Amino acid sequence: MRVEPHTVDSYVHAMKRGARGMSITKNDKDQRRFLRLLCHMNDRFKDEYWEKNTAELGLFERPQSWPEKQPLVKILAWTLMPNHFHLLLRESVEGGISKFMQKLCNSMTTYHNLKYREKGSLFQGAYKGKTVNEDTYLRWLASYIMVKNVFELCPGGLVAAADNFDAAWSWAIEYRFSSFADYAVAGKESPIIEKDILGELFPTPKEFKASACEIILSRAWEKDRNLKSLVAE
């Protein structure tokens, strides 16, 4: 499955996997750079020397010389895994998702090759994108992206996390490379995401947790054929 047709305001589950299953980030510095990319690449404006020009600033701070930000997409949810990443996006301008993914992945590849003295694309082909049209599946997909994937990283993996849901939930809140905590912790604000419709579906951390618990314990993404078709794997 490649990128399905979509228009402005479409919701799209985008996923990109490392070539040959290789890691796309190798350490904490690489992971923190991914956070900065989600923030700075989501902009019609492009600064070829963005990294140099933000080196002395805060993690997400924007140089005063840059114009006002004009986002290409809304990032509703995301999770960085060792060899791939998931994003739930809403297109803000025509072609915005494609442009954002191109900027994000090109920067990651260039950085990786320079830092680790490698060649070729960091990623396996083009990104995969699946359009989502119903609130029910947006709810399930949000839990798939943020909860199921982060739980896979918990000690013991997904099975152990499902057996000890509350402990896994507390562990996942501390995982910095996902929007999980933005929904699981009251009052948390992020310069990366706009909750958009997910803020209506999960108005409180309690409701986010209850929905996630139902979906994780039922393994709904495996049993529901409609949901399975939305997973951009």
So what CATH class is 11-130? alpha beta
Please tell me the pTM assigned to this model: 0.93
Pairing of strands 84-91, 73-80: antiparallel
Instruction: Write down the domain spans for the chain.
Output: 11-130, 134-228
13-199-88 Cα angle (round to 5): 10
77-143-230 Cα angle (round to 5): 85
Cβ proximity of 154 and 172 under 8 Å: yes
Backbone angles phi, psi at 87, to 5 degrees: -135, 140
Cβ proximity of 92 and 1 under 8 Å: no
Region of 196 please: left (phi>0), alpha (psi -120 to 50) or beta: left
Q: Which residues in the chain show pLDDT less than 50?
A: 1
> pLDDT, tens digit, for every residue of 15-56?
999 998 899 999 999 999 999 999 999 999 999 999 999 999
Backbone angles phi, psi at 126, to 5 degrees: -75, 160
What whole-number distance in Å separates Cα of residue 100 and Cα of residue 86? 14
Relative orientation angle of helices 96-116 and 28-40, to the nearest 10 degrees:
150
pLDDT value at residue 134: 87
Name which of 143, 155, 162, 161 is nearest 211 in CA terms: 143
pLDDT value at residue 1: 43
What whole-number distance in Å separates Cα of residue 208 and Cα of residue 217? 14
